[in-house]
Structure 1
């Protein structure tokens, strides 16, 4: 059987996907720690997550275009979701007397969404929206 020929761009997407998943969780962890230390949502970190996603896609040499813009935007949204879930879990952990990751295991998605929607002010939502736009533009 003759060997299959894969275009160079197709071989780069597994690396890009792995980098984006690792980068999204890493930047979300830093965001959670910063929010916990400052006592605020620190929603400006979403812009850092967007720039990080764009940089990781360039590092993986993913082909420019709509697919790369979508991947960067998806990675940024993933960072936003993980960070808001983690911030809510960390804020609940103190009064419950448990560690933040124990609180995260007990926190359901609906409760986390309710807490995040109560904690995020309009300026926070503006930062999150700006980050999604920045991710789409810088990742393409």
Structure 2
């Protein structure tokens, strides 16, 4: 029995997804700290990035790709918001964002994020999750072959 290489998930798909998600989170946090905004508009881009990474590793389109893309996007939103809160709080104390993140508790971060995120930011986060689901479910159609 042979398996089709285009429908068999690769072993490196999930580590690639985790590394890509962490890289996107770092870029999101740096952009937000530099612009002094939440940069919630990056959430749909994060979703597209997660789907692209799964597609590059030949993860088949469908419910599992959509689920992994949704989970990675949700984790990116949470980690980016936590990093932004830690970075903003740490600046006042002269700490780097990762130093401040180690001292920031979940309740304090939640309170800071409730104050920082507007309804428009929440809409961007929701649209990012929706983009992850829809793009993960849909397979990219191949163009016509030259052969």
Give the TM-score normalised by structure 1.
0.90
Q: Does 1:80 align with 2:97?
A: no
Q: 1:104-123 to 2 correspondence within 5 Å?
A: 104-123=101-120
Distance 1:76 1:86 in 2: 15
SS in 2 for 1:98: coil
Distance 2:98 2:116 in 1: 19
Distance 1:114 1:19 in 2: 32
In the alignment, what sits opposite 2:88?
91
Displacement of 1:10 in angstroms is 5.3
Gaps of 5+ in 2: 138-147
Distance 2:53 2:121 in 1: 25
Gaps of 5+ in 1: none
Distance 2:3 2:100 in 1: 45
Q: Does 1:54 align with 2:51?
A: yes
Moved over 6 A (4+): none
Report if the CA contact (8 A) 2:9-2:60 is conserved: no
In the alignment, what sits opposite 2:144?
none
Distance 1:75 1:98 in 2: 28
Displacement of 1:6 in angstroms is 8.2
Distance 1:99 1:67, change over 3 A: same
Q: Does 1:31 align with 2:47?
A: no
Q: 1:122-137 to 2 correspondence within 5 Å?
A: 122-137=119-134
Displacement of 1:11 in angstroms is 4.9
Q: Relative to total residues, which structure has the larger helix share, 1 or 2?
A: 1
